Chains A and B, each alone.
Chain A
Amino acid sequence: MFGLSGRKALVTGATGGIGGSIARALHAQGATVALSGTRRSALDELAASLGDRVHVVEANLSDKDSVEALVPAAEKAMDGLDILVNNAGVTKDNLFMRMKDEEWDTVIAVNLTASFRLSRAAVKNMMRRRYGRIINIGSVVGSTGNPGQGNYAASKAGLIGMTKALAAEVASRSITVNCVAPGFIESPMTDVLNEKQREGILGTIPMGRLGQGGEIASAVVYLASTEAGYVTGHTLHVNGGMAMF
C-alpha cells in the first residue's frame, strides 16, 4: 500500500528538516522527486544521497517570477507533476505590536502566496490528467495561534482555508487537496529553542517528546497515495496530542 511508483512530486523547502524528510519518504515509496529550495549546495547534497529519480529545481519563493517558473521547470524536468507539496515556510517572529510590515509581508508571501501560485500553476495540468495531489504543510499554530507569531499563524490558517476552497473546486477531477499540520518537530526551526523553552513546550505535549520529520513525511505519503483518494479538504494534525480538533 501507499506505493508511489511512477508518480512525480515537487517538494518546496526540501533543504529544511521536514522538507528533506518528506522528499526522502516520497522517493522511498518510488516517486520521482523534484527538490526545490534556496540553498543549492544542500539541495545537491540531498539529491546525491537519494540517487536516481531526483531533480533539483532552484527557486526563491519570495520572488514572484521565481515562483511562477517553478512548476513549469518541475514539469519539464520530470515530464509531468502528480504531487505538489507546499512545504517551504519561514518565520519572522515578533510581538504583534512591534511587528514590522516587512516581517508580515515576507511570511505571508513565502508561506501563503507562493503556495497559492504554485497550486494554481500545478492544478492546470492535474485537471488535464484527471489526477493530482496537493499537500500543504500547515502548522498547529494555524489552528491554535501562538504569541509572537501573528504573521506565521495567519499564514498557516490561510493555508487551511485555501486548502478547503481549492479541494471543493477540483474534487470532481479526482484531485485532492489536503493539509498536514505539524506540532513541534525536531528541525532547525526548533533547534534554536533554549532548554527552558524546550521544557515548557514538552509540558504541553501529551506524548512528552518532539515529533520527528519522518512522522510528518508519513502523513504526507498517505495523503499523496492513491489509497487516500477519498480524503480531501482535510487538515491532518500530527502533533503528539498537543492540540486535538
Chain B
Amino acid sequence: MSDVADRVKKIVVEHLGVEADKVTDNANFIDDLGADSLDTVELVMAFEEEFNVEIPDDAAETIVTVGDAIKFLEKNAA
C-alpha cells in the first residue's frame, strides 16, 4: 500500500469514525461508509490540507470512493 493510500485511509477512518478494515479502495464514502454530503465536502477539505493541494469542485465531484481519492492524490499531490 502506498504512502498516499495510508494517509487517505487514516483521514477517512478519523473523520467518519469507521473501522479501518471497511476503508477499502472500492468503499463508497456515502453508500458504504455512511458519509453524508457534508462529510464528503469535509473529507475533500481534509485531503487538501493533508496533501497541500487544491481540489477543484469538478474534480471533487468525481471522488466518490476511497480509491478515487487515492488515485487523484497520487496524480496531483506532491
Q: Interface of A with B (CB < 8 Å)?
A: 124, 127-128, 169-170, 172-173
Q: Can you give 12 A-B contacts (C-beta < 8 A)? A: A124-B45, A127-B38, A127-B41, A127-B42, A127-B45, A128-B42, A128-B45, A169-B38, A170-B38, A172-B36, A172-B38, A173-B38
Q: Which residues of A contact B41 (CB under 8 A)?
A: 127
Docked Cα-Cα span, A99 to B41, in Å, equals: 40
What distance in Å separates the Cβ of A88 from its nearest Cβ neighbour in chain B? 27
In the complex, the chain A residue whose C-beta lies closest to that of B42 is A127
Q: Which residues of A contact B45 (CB under 8 A)?
A: 124, 127-128
Docked Cα-Cα span, A173 to B37, in Å, equals: 13
For chain A, what secondary structure do more than half of its interface residues adopt (helix, strand, loop), or is it mixed? helix
Q: Which residues of A contact B36 (CB under 8 A)?
A: 172
Across chains A and B, the number of contacting residue pairs, with CB separation under 8 Å, is 12
* Count of residues in B whose CB is under 8 Å from the partner chain: 5
What distance in Å separates the Cβ of A221 from its nearest Cβ neighbour in chain B? 28
What distance in Å separates the Cβ of A148 from its nearest Cβ neighbour in chain B? 40
Q: Interface of B with A (CB < 8 Å)?
A: 36, 38, 41-42, 45
What distance in Å separates the Cβ of B36 from its nearest Cβ neighbour in chain A? 8
In the complex, the chain A residue whose C-beta lies closest to that of B39 is A172
What distance in Å separates the Cβ of A169 from its nearest Cβ neighbour in chain B? 7
Docked Cα-Cα span, A227 to B61, in Å, equals: 37
Q: Which residues of B contact A127 (CB under 8 A)?
A: 38, 41-42, 45
What distance in Å separates the Cβ of B25 from its nearest Cβ neighbour in chain A? 27
Q: Which residues of B contact A172 (CB under 8 A)?
A: 36, 38
Docked Cα-Cα span, A242 to B38, in Å, equals: 39
Docked Cα-Cα span, A172 to B45, in Å, equals: 17
Docked Cα-Cα span, A169 to B42, in Å, equals: 13
Docked Cα-Cα span, A127 to B44, in Å, equals: 12
Given contacts A127-B41, A170-B38, 10 further A-B contacts (CB under 8 A): A124-B45, A127-B38, A127-B42, A127-B45, A128-B42, A128-B45, A169-B38, A172-B36, A172-B38, A173-B38
Q: Which residues of B contact A128 (CB under 8 A)?
A: 42, 45
Q: Which residues of A contact B42 (CB under 8 A)?
A: 127-128
In the complex, the chain A residue whose C-beta lies closest to that of B46 is A128
What distance in Å separates the Cβ of B26 from its nearest Cβ neighbour in chain A? 27
Q: Which residues of B contact A124 (CB under 8 A)?
A: 45
In the complex, the chain B residue whose C-beta lies closest to that of A170 is B38
Docked Cα-Cα span, A172 to B38, in Å, equals: 9
Docked Cα-Cα span, A128 to B45, in Å, equals: 9
In the complex, the chain B residue whose C-beta lies closest to that of A125 is B45
